[in-house]
Chains A and B, each alone.
Chain A
Amino acid sequence: MDFLVPKLSATMESVKVLRWLKHVGDKVAIGEPLVELETDKAAMEVESPVEATLEAVLAAEGAELATGAVLARLGLAGEAELASSTKSSPATIPDAPASPAEFAIAGAGSTWAATPRILASPFAKRLAGMKGIDLAALAATKPLQRIRARDVLAAAEARGAKEGFEPFSTVRRHIAEAVTLSRRTIPSFVIDRWVAATAIDQARAAHGGQIEKMIGVRPTFTDFLLLALIDSFSKHPRILDRWHEEDGRVGRIRAPNIDIGLVVAVADGVMIPVLRRLAGKPVHEIVQARHDAVQRARSARLLDADYAPVSFSLSNIGKSGADRFEAIINPGQSSILAVGRQHDRVIASSGGIIVARGVNLTLTVDHRLIDGLLAAEFVETLAERIEHGTWSST
């Protein structure tokens, strides 16, 4: 069977093959990582969908492929004998290197030839690392048909000429493309509400230790926000509808589960790991799921599931500077909640004034799907849940 480039995110159009984790002839089990791909969001390992033998690698490391393109050929356990008895020619690569000589230099005698990579001299690689030059952007030069030190130096000089210019990393570039696409194609509006966080603080104090004892992870403010969101989505499931366009028809896709994307800041960008099937989950499982998601993002090892469609993301600024901010909807999603830092506010309460600690909830929604009334009702429900709902440790 053909092993294709999976659609790993809503905005993904192409991937780069970073590294094959198996060699031709290797057996792979279901779910065993087969190849490492770089998407618009992160580097990730893609697992084998079947138990099989890797018969041929059809995409070289470094190659850019569109969604649906063939990555490799897998021989299913049952058809292996059949295939080997009828097949006369060995596995071939469609994109053979331009000249045999070039390949001979790269590594004659290599048993798996499917690895034409960026050919650069060791010194060129060293200089590129020192000067922050992306070798993928340079062309191999004659007479050695590879990137040399002088090419890197020329690139560094050319870059230096545009005073202070620094090219984007792949992740940064994709973020830039995603937010531009969002602003251009998603007509959104913003509503917000300040909520007192006293109840959450009390719940954290009351149950935090017990949950930590159970799973070894201490609950955060975000975990209780997630719980409140899950309850609120149950009451207003239409908030999770997603825009869909197909064959000239437009409409909505109703989300079958409550899934929440969690915006995690990483070096030079953000990642959005997704917490799945949250309805009805006990607190400690939410805490664990949130903890795992953050770990995945920080180690840049997102799973397939993190790239599957999701309707909503939560962006919690934590302790950093701003009381309130508006987030941009990730293309493919329909809303995002931005949570500012906790701060004290003087509020009117029962005819008097009190000082209370709380946060701003700022919801950006896709107006094509959601009108103001629904959004306001949802925010009202969420605020009520946060301020007056009850929290348990289970």
Chain B
Amino acid sequence: MTANEKMAAAELKPLQMAIQEITYREAIVAALREEMRRDPKTLIMGEDIGASGGPFKTCQGLYEEFGASRVRDTPIAETGFVGAALGLALTGYRPIVEIMFADFLGVCFDQIANSIAKHRFMSGGRVKTPIVIRALGGAGLRFGAQHSQTAESWLLSVPGLKIICPSNPEQAYLMLKAAIRDDNPVLVLEHKALLSTKGAAPIGLDDVAMPTGPRVLRPGRHATIVASLAMVGKALAAADRLALEGIEAEVIDVQVLRPLNVSPISDSVRRTNILVTVEEQAPTGGWSSDVVADVVSQAFDFLDAPPARITLPDHPLPYSPHLEDSFIPSPERIAATVKSLL
């Protein structure tokens, strides 16, 4: 069954839930489609998302179903259309914007950090700002230094925002649906390298809720590995390798960067006594710094080794394929780091 056929099936029975093996990209499309059907005030804006279905085909079929008024191609001007999203939200709409490359969040940083994140608070709670900003980030696809950043840390310190980062099709589907229904601005960081990864997702599930913290994807008792986005898969692969040597690593997907809830990670460390974080960002100021700091505060007496952070080098991402590949944390490196702490 092709993706389109699956969506066609979903169209016939919109509230019929079925576990389907789909890609991360299809999960995003399915979530957008279902939520736009659910609420006519929902619309999506972005660069090349109309008839072409989006640069990464994450809006495939939406233009055909919902038309140009609800699936709007925009100029290459993020400040403008992200600002327009705030205006739409204030006038009763539920806008979604797609940022083609998460790197471009820098262009509309002021709209997000100073306007969208603060409007509800500054109006004394009189306005709602149900805005979803989807941004596709991540390295590994030879896009070079300016088109490969995950941007996870950029808006981490802005109160008023929620930031989520799905690492598999199920999360991409469920978390995006929950984000669209949220009355507060949610930044959804998606990863380009995950778009074609497959996984089971409960397509058609209507009862969705925003997760409140990290999620344990694989239980283990010897070490805790915390990762986000594409690094989750690397961590799971590292856990597979470690398992061959009898080392049981617990893999946790941080999945909600803001508000960051470290308590479940601390609980894990209380059992494993070892903490390793994996983040696809330069080492300074990322979420893993906060995770380590909070775990040290919350579970100090349970640490049996200094927490280890695996990150990208403190350097712009190189375009050279060999260099790019060597920049990205590998399962081997994660497994070796865990072993060095045992």
Contacts and interface: CB of A to CB of B under 8 A. Distances in A.
A124 to B, nearest CB: 6
A123 B306 contact: no
B338 to A, nearest CB: 12
Contacts, number: 28
Contacts of B340: 143
A149 B273 CA distance: 9
Given A148-B304, A148-B305, A149-B304, A123 B341 contact: no
Contacts of B300: 122
Nearest to A152: B304
Contacts of A121: 273, 303-305
Nearest to A146: B305
Contacts of B304: 121-124, 148-149
B306 A105 contact: yes
The residue in A123, A124, A143 that gathers the most chain B C-beta atoms within 10 A of its C-beta is: A123
B302 interface: yes
B314 interface: no
The residue in B273, B304, B306 that gathers the most chain A C-beta atoms within 10 A of its C-beta is: B304
A120 to B, nearest CB: 10
Interface string B285-314: 000000000000000111111100000000
A144 B302 CA distance: 16
Nearest to A144: B305
Interface in A103-158: 105, 121-126, 143-144, 148-149
Contacts of B305: 121, 144, 148
B341 A122 contact: no
Given A123-B302, A126-B302, A144 B273 contact: no
A143 B303 CA distance: 15
Nearest to A142: B340
B34 to A, nearest CB: 47
Nearest to B302: A123
B147 to A, nearest CB: 37
A35 to B, nearest CB: 28
A123 B223 CA distance: 14
A122 B304 CA distance: 6
5 nearest A-B pairs in the assembled complex, by CB-CB distance: A123-B304, A126-B301, A149-B304, A121-B304, A122-B303
Interface of A: 105, 121-126, 143-144, 148-149
Given A121-B304, A123-B273, A143-B341, 18 more contacts: A121-B303, A121-B305, A122-B300, A122-B301, A122-B302, A122-B303, A122-B304, A123-B303, A123-B304, A126-B301, A126-B302, A143-B340, A144-B305, A144-B306, A144-B341, A148-B304, A148-B305, A149-B304
